[in-house]
Chain A
C-alpha cells in the first residue's frame, strides 16, 4: 500500500518539479553560452556598441534567471512539502486519504519519503546545473577532490555524513508536519497557529539539541585534553556521531507525535 500511495504522490508532485528541473538545466546551458564562455574566451564585445550593450543585458538577464531559479527551487521544495501535507491530508482531500484502507503512518511516511526524494532530486539538479556552468578544466578536478574527501573522511565517515544529511532532512520535514498537525488541533486560524507551533518546536529543538551537544562535547574534550596524540579528527567525529544521534531521536519523536495527532486527534473541517 505504501508503494501505491507513493506512486500517486510522486505523480501529484512531479508536475511541479519536472518543469522546474528542465528550466533550471536549460538556464544553466544558456548561461554557459552567453555568459560564462564569452568571459572565458574573452569574446565579450569591448567597444561601446549596440551589440555590446545587448550582450551585457542578455548575459545579466540569463544569470539573474539562473540565480532566481536556483533559489526558487529551494523555496518550491519547501512549499510543496508544506502544501502536500496540509492540503492532501488535512484539507478536504483528507476525507479520501484517511478513509483509504491504509495505516496513518503509511500516509505520513509516503509524504515524508516523497519529500525526501524531491529534495535529493532538486539537489542533484542544482549540482548538475553547477557542473554545466563550471569550465571543462575545472570540472576535471572534481573527481580528485571527491577522492580526497573520501580519503580524509574514510568510508565510515562518508556513510556517517550521508546518514547525517538524511536525518537532518527528515527532522526538518517531520518538524513541519508536527507543527501543522499541532496547529490543526485548533478550530480557527489553523495555518497561523501551525506557524506559531513551528516557531515553538524550532525553539525547543534548537535549545535541547544545543544543550545535549554542549554537555556531550564537554565530556569528550575533557577526556582528550591531556592526550595530545589524539587528533582533532577523533573529537570531531565523536561530536558528529552525537549530533546524528540527536537528530535520530528528533526524527523518531516528531514522527510519533505526528502519527499520534493524525490518528487520535484528527478533526477535519
Chain B
C-alpha cells in the first residue's frame, strides 16, 4: 500500500454552498504536502473530513486503509485551527492525557520540547498566553509518532520568528515515512519545506503536483504560481 490517504469524488455540501466539490486525491507515505488555497477554499473542510469531524455528503475517503473512525484517529495527529486545550488541566496533566489515549505518544520527547521552550509543566493551561498555548498544542501533536500529521494553519497566528521555530519543529519531529499535510495561505514561508502542493479553489482541486514538477515546468516559485492562479 503506497498511499496513506486516498479519496474519491469527495464532496461536502451545505444548504447553499459546496464546501468541497468532487475532490479525488492520492497522497503517498513520506511526503510533506502543502494544502494551499485562499480563505474559504475548502482546506479546513477537507482536513475536518479526514479527522471524522465532518461527514462527507458524497464520495469516500480512506486513510491507512480505513474510513475515518477509531482506526484512523490512532494514526492521525491533528493540529486544528482552534485551541482545544481545556482550562482545568496543568501542562503536565495534558501530557498524561495524550500519553493515556495515544499509544504512539512519545512522552520524553514532549517533556524535552517543553523544557527547551522553557514552558513550565506545572503551569495551568488557562494561565498560558495564546502563543504559549499554541506552542503546547504543537508540541503535543508533534510528539506523536503518527503516520499522518494534519496541520491546519499551523503558522497562521504567530509572528515570523515563531513561524521558523514551528516549521523547524515539524521538520525535525515528524517520523520518517510519515506524511505531513499542512494547510496555509502563507506560502512563501513554507515553500522551502514542501515536497508536494495541492491548490484548492472553491472546493475543487485545481492543481496537484510535486514542487519539482512545478519548478521544472513553469520555472516559477510556488508563491508566484499561487499569486497567478488565485489572482483576484
Choose one: B73, B84, B88, B101; the contact of A95 (CB below 8 Å).
Answer: B84
On chain A, the number of residues with a Cβ less than 8 Å from chain B's Cβ atoms is 26
Interface contact B84-A92, CB-CB below 8 Å:
yes
Known: A100-B101, A101-B101, A265-B55. A95 touches B70 (CB 8 A): no
* A264 close to chain B: CB less than 8 A: yes
What sequence of 0s and 1s flags, for each residue 1-30 of chain A, a beta carbon within 8 Å of any chain B beta carbon? 100100110011001000000000000000
- Interface hit among B74-82, B108-116, B215-223: B74-82
Q: Using a CB-CB cutoff of 8 Å, which residues 51-74 of chain B contact chain A?
A: 51-55, 70-71, 73-74
Name the residue on B nearest A13 (C-beta): B88
Nearest CB of chain B from residue A80's CB, rounded to whole Å = 12
Q: Which residues of A contact B54 (CB under 8 A)?
A: 266-267
* B97 close to chain A: CB less than 8 A: yes
Known: A99-B51, A102-B70. A15 touches B84 (CB 8 A): no
CA distance A95 to B153 in the complex (A): 15
* A148 close to chain B: CB less than 8 A: no
Interface contact B101-A266, CB-CB below 8 Å:
no
Known: A266-B53, A268-B53. A96 touches B84 (CB 8 A): yes
Interface contact B55-A264, CB-CB below 8 Å:
yes
Q: Which residues of A contact B53 (CB under 8 A)?
A: 95, 98-99, 266, 268
CA distance A88 to B88 in the complex (A): 12
Q: Using a CB-CB cutoff of 8 Å, which residues 70-95 of chain A contact chain B?
A: 88, 92-95
Q: Which residues of A contact B226 (CB under 8 A)?
A: none
Interface contact B101-A4, CB-CB below 8 Å:
yes
* A151 close to chain B: CB less than 8 A: no
Known: A101-B73, A102-B70, A264-B55. A88 touches B86 (CB 8 A): yes
Interface contact B84-A266, CB-CB below 8 Å:
no
Q: Which of B52, B54, B78, B82 has the most CB of A within 10 A?
A: B82
CA distance A267 to B84 in the complex (A): 15
* B100 close to chain A: CB less than 8 A: yes
* B127 close to chain A: CB less than 8 A: no
* B83 close to chain A: CB less than 8 A: yes
Name the residue on B nearest A106 (C-beta): B70
What sequence of 0s and 1s flags, for each residue 231-269 of chain A, a beta carbon within 8 Å of any chain B beta carbon? 000000000000000000000000000000001111111
CA distance A93 to B71 in the complex (A): 21
Nearest CB of chain B from residue A135's CB, rounded to whole Å = 41
Q: Which residues of B contact A93 (CB under 8 A)?
A: 84-86
Q: Which residues of B contact A103 (CB under 8 A)?
A: 70
Nearest CB of chain A from residue B77's CB, rounded to whole Å = 9
Q: Using a CB-CB cutoff of 8 Å, which residues 89-137 of chain B contact chain A?
A: 97, 100-102
Interface contact A12-B70, CB-CB below 8 Å:
no
Nearest CB of chain B from residue A108's CB, rounded to whole Å = 15
Choose one: A101, A268, A269; the contact of B74 (CB below 8 Å).
Answer: A101
Q: Which residues of B contact A102 (CB under 8 A)?
A: 70, 73, 101
Q: Which residues of A contact B76 (CB under 8 A)?
A: 99
Interface contact A100-B55, CB-CB below 8 Å:
no
Q: Which residues of A contact B52 (CB under 8 A)?
A: 98-99
Interface contact B82-A8, CB-CB below 8 Å:
no
Choose one: A4, A11, A12, A94; the contact of B84 (CB below 8 Å).
Answer: A94
Q: Which residues of B contact A7 (CB under 8 A)?
A: 100
Name the residue on B nearest A104 (C-beta): B52
Q: Which residues of B contact A264 (CB under 8 A)?
A: 55
CA distance A11 to B97 in the complex (A): 12
A-B contacts, 22 of them at CB < 8 A, read A4-B101, A7-B100, A8-B100, A11-B88, A12-B86, A92-B82, A92-B84, A93-B84, A93-B85, A94-B84, A95-B80, A96-B86, A99-B51, A99-B73, A99-B78, A101-B70, A102-B70, A102-B73, A103-B70, A266-B55, A267-B54, A268-B48
- A264-B55, A265-B55 known; 16 new pairs, CB 8 Å cut-off, are A1-B101, A88-B86, A95-B53, A95-B80, A96-B84, A96-B85, A98-B53, A99-B51, A99-B78, A100-B73, A101-B70, A101-B74, A101-B102, A102-B70, A102-B101, A269-B82
3 closest cross-chain pairs (CB), A and B? A96-B84, A95-B84, A101-B73
